[in-house]
Every structure is written in structure tokens, then in C-alpha cells.
Amino acid sequence: MSGQPAGGICRGPDAAVARARLAIAGGLLVAGGACAVAALSLPPLWSIVTAGVTEEVRLIGQHRGVWQLGIWTWAVSAGLTMPGMLTLASAVSGSATGAMRGRLAPASAVSAAAAGLFVAGSVLWLSNLAFRGSVAVSVADMVRGGGVIPDWFQPVQQWASAFWQAGAPLLGLSLIFYGLVILGGTILPSWAGWLAIAAGGSSSPFSCRWAVPRRS
């Protein structure tokens, strides 16, 4: 089953509502994606998140302002992407259900599952960001002032990183579900569904790599 462009099959008031929701979702997702790219473009950010514990704390203290800007930009990205994906779920679910009717009865359930997984993954990601933007910064300030890294910091950091380790697979699975609903609908072309499935299948292992803090 391949999706068709919005103007091909969907007609009537339901199609107009779906297109309006799709436009809103697109705007939110583009803005959220732009924030994520902006955060990653900050020079020290990637070095910090892939460093060992001692080096990470030193770099956060050295680039405190840029680090906090990156954390906030990531948080804004999540805050924009979540409602964007929820709106997208509503748009593609209505399209799939209207187009396939009896042949795709689970469309609404799959779409709801996709949205729920995305929200759960995003909340876990925001929890990880909250730790990195508060506790990690406080420890970095302490070390920069001449102190040492507390013994409790690494275990707590690993616990916080576990939030993202759990959240990344949820986000990936959510994208796969979105792709399946898109393939069964009519408001987006089939390549969008396949792209979502491919992104969901490949993003989780990559995302988890830098979420695990090294011990050095």
C-alpha cells in the first residue's frame, strides 16, 4: 500500500482539516529540527557529550555559556517537535482511516502508539537534558573553582544517561510506526513513510552511543 500525494485521493472537509494539521506539524517539525541542528553546530558541544567524565566536566566549565545555550536549544527543539509529531499523528491517522477504512482499521491505534512512544521518549530526553544543564554545570563550576569531582557524580550521571538510553529506542520505534501509518494513508507520498521507517531503524543505536558516559 503506497501513500499518494495530498491532492490525489483525499477530498472534502476531512482532507482540508488533515492538510491544515499537516501544515502546522510541518512548521513545528522544521523549527524543532532547525534548533537541533543549531545546537549541534556549536563547536564544543559534540566534544563535551562524547568526552569522559573528567574531561566533560572540565569542558563544561570552560565553555559554560555555550553549553547552557546548547542545552536550552535542544530543550526548545524537543518542545517544538513533540506537538509537531502529535499533530502529524492526527493528520496521518485521519488520512489513513479515511482512505483504507475497513482494510486499515488499526490505523488510529498505530498512530496513537506512535505519538505515545514519541512523547515518552521526548520526556526521557528532556530529563537527561535537565541533569546536563543543572547538576553537571554545578559540578563543573565547583571544579573550576578548585574543587574535585564528587564521588557521587559519575553514578548519578550514568543514571541520568540511562534516561536517554531508554528514550532513544522509543523515539526510533515511534518513527517506524509513523512510517507505517503514512504508507497506509493518502496525505503524504510513500517515500515519506519509508524515510520515517529508515530513520527510526537507524537513529537509536547512533543516539545511544554518546549518551553513555565514559569512565575516564
pTM of the model: 0.81
User: Is the model's pLDDT at 3 over the cut of 50?
Assistant: no
Q: Is residue 2 part of a domain?
A: no
Q: Is residue 3 part of a domain?
A: no
Phi, psi (rounded to 5 degrees) for 113? -65, -40
Report the C-alpha gap between 113 and 90 in whole angstroms. 12
User: Is the model's pLDDT at 126 over the cut of 50?
Assistant: yes
Confidence band for 7, pLDDT divided at 50, 70 and 90: very low
Structure confidence at residue 215 (pLDDT): 53
Report the C-alpha gap between 70 and 135 in whole angstroms. 15
For residue range 49-102, list pLDDT tens digits in order: 888 889 999 999 999 999 999 999 999 999 999 999 999 988 887 655 444 444
Instruction: Kindly provide the residue ranges of all beta strands, DSSP E only, lying in the chain, ordered along the sequence.
Output: none
All three cell numbers of 54, joined, read 573528567
Three-state DSSP class for residue 204: helix
> Who has greater pLDDT, 8 or 74?
74
Total domain count, the chain:
1
Dihedral angle of Cα 110, 113, 115, 118, to the nearest 10 degrees: -130
Q: In terms of residue numbers, what domain contains 16?
A: 12-209
> What are the angstrom distances between the C-alpha of 207 and each of 4, 152, 169, 193, 198?
31, 25, 9, 21, 14
Q: Is residue 6 part of a domain?
A: no
Q: Is residue 105 part of a domain?
A: yes
Whose grid coordinates read 479515511? 98
Q: Is residue 4 part of a domain?
A: no
Task: Please answer whether residues 37 and 73 qualify as being in contact, where contact means their C-beta atoms are separated by less than 8 angstroms.
Answer: no
For residue range 133-190, list pLDDT tens digits in order: 999 999 999 999 999 999 999 999 888 889 988 999 999 999 999 998 888 877 888 9
What percentage of the chain reaches a pLDDT higher than 70?
A: 81
Confidence band for 14, pLDDT divided at 50, 70 and 90: low
Report the C-alpha gap between 100 and 186 in whole angstroms. 9
Structure confidence at residue 111 (pLDDT): 86
Structure confidence at residue 2 (pLDDT): 45
Q: Is residue 1 part of a domain?
A: no
For 79-103, give the DSSP string. Answer: HHHHHHHHHHHHHHHHHHHHHHGGG
Q: Is residue 215 part of a domain?
A: no
Q: Is residue 107 part of a domain?
A: yes
